[in-house]
Amino acid sequence: MMSTASIVIALLSFALGALLALLMIPILVWLERRGAGLIQDRLGPNRTNIGGFRLGGVVQSFADVVKLLLKEEYYPNHIKKGRGLLMFAPIITFVSALLAFMVIPFADNIIIDGESLAVQPLPIDYGVLWYLSIGSIGVIGMFFGGWLSHNKYSLLGASRAGSMMIGYELPLGLSVLSLVLTYNSIGFNDMVHWQSQTLFGFLPAWGMIVQPLAGIILIISLFAETNRAPFSVAEGESEIVAGFFTEFTAMKFALYFMGEYVAMNTASAVIITMLFGGYQLPWVDTELLLSNFNNFAFSLMLVIPIFVFIIIKWMKKNNRVRPTVSSDGGRAFETKVLTIALTTMTILVEVILIVLVLFPSDLGSSITVMLFQIATFVVKLMMFNIFFILVRWTLPRFRYDQVQHLGWYYLLPLSIFNIFVTAIVIVIVGV
């Protein structure tokens, strides 16, 4: 029989996984457009608002969703058979990206009444295999979409996507294999645990530091797997219109589009979990936080107001129109409301922390540590998503043969070499 706590934690982590994957899409779309604007020396979408609330322009993404939902479902006339499957193809891509995200641990196993509960939407201990296998289903949706469009460009796009996926699945799997050898586990949570120790007493034992070559190969292959620039040859709008989604409109197109962002989010989550210590801060693991809970709470009480103060200061400085514009479009009002909301939240958090320090309880401290680790995870996730966006808008797209050349001639031999070196080191050191 399952206890109440385990059911609550399971439901909460499932909801958190769905929220992190789905709510991240509009934020990432907005970030991408603002990031592109930053690099191309313009502003990007920043004016859409609901009653003066712009939130920096995030509202634009919701407007886009409404537009895509209301758009006409259009099928090209030459598509006679397989419209159902054509409709279903983007769903395969989207769902596989979403499912692959569900094995990422958002915080350490929380212990309630002596029961260890995983904060992971799908609490399985072979997460790496799950990610590799489910993640490779996504390309099947691109195949169906490309073939059923009955269009040369779509066909070319689909075959490019497929052969690139096959070419980069191997270095991905092999670099993951050398990481698995290092961590001696195929569970994501065990990997994070391994990474929370230190090397030589001062370096955090992050995968990127222990296995730099495997880390770089993993990051490059994941860039290719997500079909994003500089590996976006499957779309390649300057060569083959838009690749496999040339004939897709409205929500069908949006599912491919959102699937790309979910896949990018998943790739970031996998990178930080396998290479950058996951939900843990360096040098500070879960036991340390729990055993020194009072110190931890005091430092949180100090850091949070400073952080909020800087955010409010930054918002007051930037959330305004040029002096030549007469109406500020409700921006002063937005700043005021957000300032009040942020201040209230900070005071609330401080009060809760004070109560937890004055009346210590195991449950309260472990929940606080869990929330802190979730926050750390989200911050790291956002940092890596921004890295993805910066790379996309900095590097030009590789030519198709260059992409294949890089995968087969450099990454594959290097990853096999890395496995040999790792295995020899493990045999010698005897870990």
Q: Return residues touching another protein (CB under 8 A).
A: 81-82, 85, 124, 126, 129-130, 132-134, 136-137, 139-140, 143-144, 146-148, 155, 158-159, 162-163, 165-166, 169, 186
Q: Are strands 198-199 and 107-112 parallel, antiparallel or unpaired?
A: unpaired
Asked if residues 365 and 313 have their Cβ atoms less than 8 Å apart, the reply is: no
Asked if residues 28 and 263 have their Cβ atoms less than 8 Å apart, the reply is: no
Establish how many alpha carbons lie within 13 A of residue 50's alpha carbon, considering only the half-sphere containing its beta carbon: 7
Identity of the amino acid at 197: Q
CB of 17 to another protein, least distance (A): 19
Nearer to another protein, 84 or 114 (CB): 84
Nearer to another protein, 139 or 297 (CB): 139
230 preceded by a cis bond (ω within 30 of 0):
yes
Nearer to another protein, 131 or 377 (CB): 131
Tell me the three-class secondary structure of 278-302, residue by residue: CCCECCECHHHHHHCHHHHHHHHHH
CB of 135 to another protein, least distance (A): 9
CB of 155 to another protein, least distance (A): 6
Nearer to another protein, 143 or 153 (CB): 143
**Distance from C-alpha of 381 to C-alpha of 363, rounded to nearest angstrom:** 27
Count of CB atoms situated within 10 Å of the CB of 137:
15
284 phi-psi bin (left φ>0, alpha ψ -120 to 50, beta other) = beta
Asked if residues 249 and 68 have their Cβ atoms less than 8 Å apart, the reply is: no
Nearer to another protein, 45 or 127 (CB): 127
Nearer to another protein, 255 or 297 (CB): 255
CB of 184 to another protein, least distance (A): 12
CB of 224 to another protein, least distance (A): 15
**Distance from C-alpha of 294 to C-alpha of 394, rounded to nearest angstrom:** 45
CB of 169 to another protein, least distance (A): 8
CB of 129 to another protein, least distance (A): 5
Closest CA to 88 of 248, 215, 212, 225: 248
Nearer to another protein, 244 or 257 (CB): 244
Nearer to another protein, 31 or 86 (CB): 86
**Distance from C-alpha of 114 to C-alpha of 256, rounded to nearest angstrom:** 44
Location of structure tokens 């843990």 = 280
